[in-house]
Amino acid sequence: MDIKKITDKFSVTPQITPDEIDAIKETGFKAIICNRPDGEGPDQPTFEEIETAAKKAGLEVAYVPVQSGMVRDEDVEAFGAALKDLPRPVLGYCRTGTRSATLWSLHEAKKRPLPEILAATKAAGYDMSGVARRIANGGRTPTDTGDAKFDVVIVGGGAGGIATAASLLRRKSDLSVAIIDPADVHYYQPGWTLVGAGVFEPDETARTMASLIPAGVKWIKAAVAAFEPKNDAVILDGCRVVKYDRLVVAPGLKLDWDAVEGLPETLGRNGVTSNYRFDLAPYTWQLVREMRAGRALFTQPPMPIKCAGALQKAMYLSGDAWHRRGVLKNIDIQFMNAGGVLFGVKEYVPALMKYVEKYDATLNFFHNLVAIDGAAKKATFKVARPDTEPAEVTVDFDMIHVCPPQVAPDFIRVSPLADAAGWVDVDQATLRHKTYENIWSLGDVMNAPNAKTAAAARKQAPTVADNIVADIEGRSPIAAYDGYGSCPLTVERGKIVLAEFGYGGVLKPSFPKILLDGTKPSRAAWFLKERMLPPIYWKAMLKGREWLAQPEPIKVGAAE
């Protein structure tokens, strides 16, 4: 907790946790305003969790969520109304504190001199000069000039963004490159399945962002508000502007917990868990260890989602743990899948079905989770089978592992970069934007029809780097992404079905079949997942070392 005092009546801080509420009370605050929507980050507690702890401590709370970097006039009005009704002093929080500081600045602009606002926020460590420009320009942030300019700007410091920065500098070391990302911590999210199975410790999957940004790359610790591609500009929170010659968009996607009624209020208790959140994966393992009888549900929402096999991995590893403890016969495993097949590439289904049978799991297709009553331990699903009228069914549970629906981040969906569905619109081979020729995208946020996995980003980053360098040198694209994705399906502790495939479900094995047949469970694939892939991720992929990740060359005469 890093509280920054702006005035005697108002302070701001980055994201808080329920455990910090008592300390906030002891500091003298009487109220809290949350300016961060639920679901922005994989380690973010819900507002419901904060509100429960705050009320228990005798603090008043208000929820004025503002999309990352996008402070609208109506948000300022809502913030002012909340501030008026709350006892002082008030603590505002968001991911970094910048949104809260911005809201305060714009609210106070009606009654305080601008220099006084800038001085107060600067003393607290927040640069509101962009807000000043917005106020001076009648509410609009001008983008004809910027606060900074780079050869390449990368939005997103996840797997795809950092790998692309490293690959770019290995090809052309004199580039000025910036990564824009507000997060302090970078997560190896593929490891959370194994945290939920008691194999990894949570800390093994997290490192500080500062330790991973490649040498020579400028880290801009901020959220993106908007893109103005016609002016080669990115608008940040605080209304700052960053200009670029070329842009890479890789912010990942948004976990939409709120899309399931009742889910945010019950996450992390009442037997409701998810390996899609850093702080909840240990709860998955706790539930599995403690469960001796009852019904366990594992849900999968409609596509697209990242690592679509993660839901099955949780189911298989839980079933294996119960099998080893001799309690599996007392546990009813139900897989609730909004789709119509167990896995999208048919060659891997026979091996997976053997484990479905081993764990006596029931497959329920076309079942989409729409609501949870955690206290009553009931889950409601919309059932929409082909050629039948949709219906709803409610199922009792003792444990439920939830995968939330997933969408592109809000600042992407409303941008000129997005297609009709809200994803960044790229050529699926070159990963270049279809409209703006100096923009590329990779990772989970773009609309190529590939599996959204870290392994996909590992192959996409060199493709983007090759094509950006070619563009700088005045050449046409030279590299093509073939849709490669990998999903190591952990079917039991010690064995994995290693699914590797490209566009159209074409198998793309990395190893000769005699060494590793991915369509069958193997200990070699488990060794790769547990022992090899984490160091490959940290020490190779994020360092620009492209082992087994070289891009495909574009064939002469092929059109982009």
156-174 confidence digits (pLDDT tens):
999 999 999 999 999 999 9
Rounded to whole angstroms, what are the CA distances from 507 to 345, 456, 521? 8, 14, 16
| Alpha helices, DSSP H, located in 86-146 | 98-108, 114-123, 129-136
**Beta carbons of 466 and 171 less than 8 angstroms apart:** yes
**Beta carbons of 65 and 37 less than 8 angstroms apart:** yes
Residue 456 scores a pLDDT above 50: yes
DSSP letters spanning 233-261: EEEEGGG-EEEEEEEEE----EE-GGGSB
Residue 373 host element (H or E): strand 367-373
287-314 confidence digits (pLDDT tens):
999 999 999 999 999 998 988 888 999 9
Average pLDDT score over residue span 118-139: 82
Query: What SS3 class is residue 326?
Result: coil
Give the pairing of strands 378-383 and 367-373: antiparallel
Residue 527 scores a pLDDT above 90: yes
Banded model confidence at residue 557, pLDDT cuts 50, 70, 90:
low
465 burial class (0-12, 13-18, 19+ CB within 10 angstroms)?
buried
Average pLDDT score over residue span 256-272: 93
pLDDT reported for residue 560: 44
pLDDT reported for residue 135: 73
Q: Which amino acid is at 78?
A: A
Average pLDDT score over residue span 230-259: 92
pLDDT reported for residue 426: 97
The mean pLDDT value of the chain amounts to 93
Dihedral angle of Cα 113, 118, 124, 130, to the nearest 10 degrees:
140
pLDDT reported for residue 67: 82
211 Cβ contact partners less than 8 Å away, ≥ 6 residues apart:
none
pLDDT reported for residue 69: 64
182-199 confidence digits (pLDDT tens):
999 999 999 999 999 999
Query: What SS3 class is residue 146?
Result: coil
pLDDT reported for residue 308: 82
Q: How far apart are the first and last CA of the chain?
A: 49
CA separation for the pair 363, 225 (Å, rounded): 42
Cross-strand bridge partners of residue 297: 334, 400
Nearest to 439 by CA among 10, 153, 80: 153
CA separation for the pair 184, 441 (Å, rounded): 22
Lowest model confidence (mean pLDDT) among 209-213, 230-234, 411-415, 515-519:
411-415
pLDDT reported for residue 153: 98
**Beta carbons of 167 and 544 less than 8 angstroms apart:** yes
CA separation for the pair 185, 170 (Å, rounded): 24
Does the active-site annotation cover 94? no
Q: Provide, rounded to the nearest whole percent, the portion of the chain with pLDDT above 90.
A: 81
25-71 confidence digits (pLDDT tens):
999 999 999 999 988 888 889 899 999 999 999 999 999 999 876 78
pLDDT reported for residue 92: 97
pLDDT reported for residue 139: 67
Residue 559 scores a pLDDT above 50: no
Nearest to 402 by CA among 542, 212, 559, 272: 272
Residue 490 scores a pLDDT above 70: yes
Quote the tokens at residue 196: 């939920």
pLDDT reported for residue 556: 57
Average pLDDT score over residue span 507-528: 93
Does the active-site annotation cover 34? no
pLDDT reported for residue 347: 96
Residue 240 scores a pLDDT above 60: yes
Residue 115 scores a pLDDT above 90: no
Banded model confidence at residue 136, pLDDT cuts 50, 70, 90:
low
Tell me the torsion sign for CA atoms 335, 337, 341, 346: negative
CA separation for the pair 237, 141 (Å, rounded): 11
Q: Which amino acid is at 473?
A: E
Residue 425 scores a pLDDT above 60: yes
Largest interatomic CA distance in the chain: 74
Residue 260 scores a pLDDT above 70: yes
Nearest to 457 by CA among 251, 170, 300: 251
**Beta carbons of 298 and 379 less than 8 angstroms apart:** no
Quote the tokens at residue 550: 């070289």
Residue 528 scores a pLDDT above 60: yes
Q: From the candidates 34, 94, 239, 307, give the one annotated as an active-site residue.
A: 307
**Beta carbons of 399 and 383 less than 8 angstroms apart:** no
Residue 140 scores a pLDDT above 80: no
**Beta carbons of 444 and 534 less than 8 angstroms apart:** no
Residue 395 host element (H or E): strand 391-396
- 332-366 b/e with 16+ CB inside 10 Å = b? ebbbbbbbeebbbbeebbebbeebbeebebeebeb
Q: Provide, rounded to the nearest whole percent, the portion of the chain with pLDDT above 70.
A: 98
Average pLDDT score over residue span 320-329: 97
Quote the tokens at residue 540: 């190779």
pLDDT reported for residue 133: 75
